[in-house]
């Protein structure tokens, strides 16, 4: 397992290095002047020159890359051009909303999907299975903002159990969790539907395997064979999807953030793109890339924990 861990860790480090070079090249070295792009068509020449100096565009490129990377490593992401505040602080504030929201939504999705998937797979072709499949079809087809509006109407406006939007900050943990509940549910439902279907079909594939028949022949009931032998073998595709979903939820919640007035990463990216604040965009993109690579690393480790063949192949 240690060798598997080290080999995955090496690949994580290499991916990060390559990603940082690619992002740097795309944003900084691509043809066109970032400063004039950020300031628009009617920029004054002296403002442009000032911004160039501020962005460090007058320094040679390799040096700029090293500065950028070492800056990030020490927590210095530069200053936002629009807001004149450190990018690190802005991103950290938003991350404190987006990260808990993504984790909450993903946990909810897993909590819904596992029982639903196991239930459907154990009743292949019977009414229970057909019911679950119809529900997941609906969950995938309906957009999550529609769920969000529905949830606001029922639980915020009619029942008044939750607020309709806004975020009070983590100084009041209970209020903060309450503010994230409805958005997390709205985000989780479509993901749960996808995950249910993936788990069900992975389980059904596994249930056709010879070793399930062996398990049945030695006296396990259908249910025992499903839990003891099929579930773990069906986890690989499910883990892959969970990894993808987490990356998506971290930055892809922009519509839900908009519906619930949440100050999350999605809205930050949207605002900085519309304000052409390249420094923020660059930093957030690097952060997201880092998150995706880290999640993939964790998913790889989970694969290794689930399947001994992968460990020994490393």
Partner 1 sequence: MSLLEIRNLSLSLGPTRILRDLSLDIAPGEILALTGESGSGKSMTALATMGLLPPGARTSGRIRLNGTDLLSLSEARMCDQRGNTLGMVFQEPMTALNPVQTIGQQVAETLHLTRRSDPSMTPARVQALLHETLARVGLPPDRVPPTRYPHELSGGQRQRVVIAMAIIRRPALLIADEPTTALDVTTQAQILDLLRRLVQDNAMGLMMITHDLAVVGQMADRIAVLRAGEIVEQGPTHDVFAQRRHPYTRALFDASRHRADLHPVALQSPLLQVRNVSRDYPVKRSGLFQRRRSFPALSDISFDLRRGERLGLVGESGSGKSTLTRAILGLDPVSSGTITLAGTAVRTNTPSTRRHMQAVFQDPYSSFNPRHRVSRLISEPFHLLDNAPTGAARDAAVAEVLSAVNLSPSDADKYIHAFSGGQRQRIAIARALIIRPDLILFDEAVSALDVRVRAQILDLIADLSRRYNLSYLFISHDLSVVRGITDRVMVMQAGKIVEQGPTEQVLGAPRHPYTQSLIAAAPRLPDPATGGFDAARPAV
State the minimum distance, in angstroms, from the CB of residue 226 to partner 1: 12
Nearer to partner 1 among residue 64 and residue 216 (C-beta): 216
DSSP letter at 153?
Answer: I
From residue 214 to residue 233, what is the string marking binding to partner 1 with x (rule CB under 8 A)? xxxxxxxxx-x---xx--xx
Tell me the closest approach of the beta carbon of residue 293 to partner 1, in angstroms: 23
164/147 Cα distance (integer angstroms) = 13
| Cβ-based nearer residue to partner 1, 76 or 307 | 307
CB-wise, 36 or 233, nearer to partner 1?
233
Q: What angle do CA 209, 212, 214 make, to 5 degrees?
A: 115
Interface with partner 1, residue 306, by CB under 8 A: yes
The smaller minimum CB distance to partner 1, of residues 2 and 30, is found at 2
Write the burial class of residue 193 (CB in 10 Å: 0-12 exposed, 13-18 middle, 19+ buried). Answer: buried
Determine the size of the site formed for partner 1 (CB under 8 A): 23
Q: Is 2 in the site for partner 1 (CB under 8 A)?
A: no
Least distance CB 129 / partner 1 (angstroms): 13
Map residue 265 onto helix, strand or coil: helix
Per CB under 8 A, 200 contacts partner 1:
no
Give least dist CB 5 to partner 1, A.
14
Nearer to partner 1, 1 or 49 (CB): 1
Task: Give the shortest CB-32-to-partner 1 separation in angstroms.
Answer: 45
Q: How far is CA 175 from CA 84, 161, 169, 172, 178, in A?
A: 30, 12, 8, 6, 5
CB of 296 to partner 1, least distance (A): 21
Counting contacts by CB under 8 A, is residue 210 touching partner 1? yes
Residue whose CB is less far from partner 1, 128 or 263: 128
CA 141 to chain centre: 20
Residues 6+ apart with CB under 8 A from 166: 179, 260, 261, 262
Q: CA dihedral in degrees (197, 199, 202, 205; nearest 10)?
A: -80
- Using rule CB under 8 A, residue 146 touches partner 1: no
Contact criterion met (CB below 8 Å) for 28 and 61 = yes
Shortest gap between Cβ of 14 and partner 1 (angstroms)? 16
Q: Counting beta carbons within 10 angstroms of the beta carbon of residue 243, is it exposed (0 to 12), middle (13 to 18) or buried (19 or more)?
A: buried
Q: How far apart are CA 256 and CA 258, in angstroms?
A: 5
CB of 69 or CB of 302, closer to partner 1: 302
The smaller minimum CB distance to partner 1, of residues 145 and 211, is found at 211
Phi, psi of 120 (to 5 degrees): -65, -45
Minimum distance from CB of 295 to partner 1 (Å)? Answer: 22
Please compute, for residue 144, the number of CA atoms within 13 A of its CA located in the half-sphere on the CB side. Answer: 24
Site residues, partner 1 (CB under 8 A):
209-211, 213-222, 224, 228-229, 232-233, 306-309, 312
């Amino acid at each position: 397992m240690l060798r598997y861990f080290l080999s995955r860790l090496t690949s994580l480090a290499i991916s990060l290095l390559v990603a940082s070079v690619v992002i740097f090249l795309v944003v900084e070295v691509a043809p066109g002047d970032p400063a004039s792009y950020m300031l628009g068509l009617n920029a004054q020449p002296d403002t442009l020159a000032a911004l160039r100096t501020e962005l460090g565009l007058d320094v040679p490129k390799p040096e700029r890359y090293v500065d950028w990377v070492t800056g990030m490593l020490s927590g210095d992401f530069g200053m936002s051009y629009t807001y004149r505040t450190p990018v690190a602080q802005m991103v950290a504030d938003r991350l404190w909303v987006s990260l808990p929201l993504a984790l909450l939504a993903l946990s909810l999705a897993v909590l819904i999907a596992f029982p639903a998937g196991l239930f459907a797979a154990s009743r292949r072709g019977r009414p229970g299975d057909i019911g679950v499949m119809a529900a997941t079809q609906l969950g995938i087809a309906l957009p999550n903002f529609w769920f969000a509006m529905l949830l606001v109407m029922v639980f915020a406006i009619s029942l008044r159990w939750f607020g309709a939007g806004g975020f009070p900050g983590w100084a009041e943990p209970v209020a903060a969790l309450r503010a994230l509940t409805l958005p997390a549910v709205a985000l989780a439902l479509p993901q749960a539907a996808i995950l249910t279907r993936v788990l069900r079909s992975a389980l059904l594939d596994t249930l056709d395997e010879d070793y399930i028949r062996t398990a049945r022949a030695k006296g396990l009931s259908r249910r025992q064979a499903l839990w003891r032998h099929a579930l773990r073998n069906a986890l690989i595709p499910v883990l892959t999807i969970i990894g993808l979903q987490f990356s998506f939820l971290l930055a892809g919640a922009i519509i839900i953030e908009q519906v619930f007035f949440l100050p999350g990463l999605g809205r930050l990216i949207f605002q900085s793109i519309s304000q052409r604040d390249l420094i923020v965009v660059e930093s957030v993109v690097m952060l997201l890339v880092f998150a995706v690579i880290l999640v993939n690393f964790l998913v790889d480790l989970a694969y290794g924990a689930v399947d001994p063949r992968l460990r020994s192949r490393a």
